[in-house]
């Protein structure tokens, strides 16, 4: 079946630094990928839709300069959390659109900003 690899699974960074998270579709091409954020005991909040070869579409309230998304190929989307602060600590999950309503999710990245 379709697999999405998300890396790293855990990262700890210092406040003020930037962190890049990768989301890679391993056996299919994904023109569209999605990035979600999940705080403890809460649901997944859609942050942005990543489109291959074009700019990402951000959901209302998500700072595009803070969360940089690059979807340079049909199998890779990256999310960079710039100038991270403790309040950015969260669980970030990506998913890839397989078409016909099918979405495959990565295993998530737990970001801790200290």
- Please give the residue ranges that form the binding site for other proteins (CB under 8 A): 32, 34, 36, 41-46, 49, 59-60, 91, 93, 95, 97, 101-103, 105-108, 110
DSSP 22-80: EEEESSS--SEEEEEEE-TTS-EEEEEEEETTS--EEPTT--TTTEEEEEEETTEEEEE
Nearest approach, Cβ of 73 to other proteins (angstroms)? 20
Nearer to other proteins, 81 or 106 (CB): 106
Q: Which CB atom, from 38 or from 80, has the smaller least distance to other proteins?
A: 38
Structural contact between residues 33 and 79, judged by C-beta atoms closer than 8 angstroms: no
Smaller CB separation from other proteins, 32 or 82: 32
What minimum distance in Å lies between the beta carbon of 16 and other proteins? 26
Q: How far apart are the first and last CA of the chain?
A: 37
């Amino acid at each position: 079946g379709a697999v999405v690899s998300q890396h790293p699974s855990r990262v700890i960074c210092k406040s003020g630094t930037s962190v890049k998270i990768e989301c890679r579709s391993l056996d299919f091409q994904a023109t569209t990928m999605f990035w979600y954020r999940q705080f403890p005991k809460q649901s997944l909040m859609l942050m942005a839709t990543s489109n291959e070869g074009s700019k990402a579409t951000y959901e209302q309230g998500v700072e595009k300069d803070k969360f940089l998304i690059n979807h340079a190929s049909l199998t890779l989307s990256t999310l960079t959390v710039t100038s991270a602060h403790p309040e950015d600590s969260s669980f970030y999950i990506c998913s890839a659109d397989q078409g016909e309503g099918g979405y495959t999710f990565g295993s998530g990245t737990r970001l801790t900003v200290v």
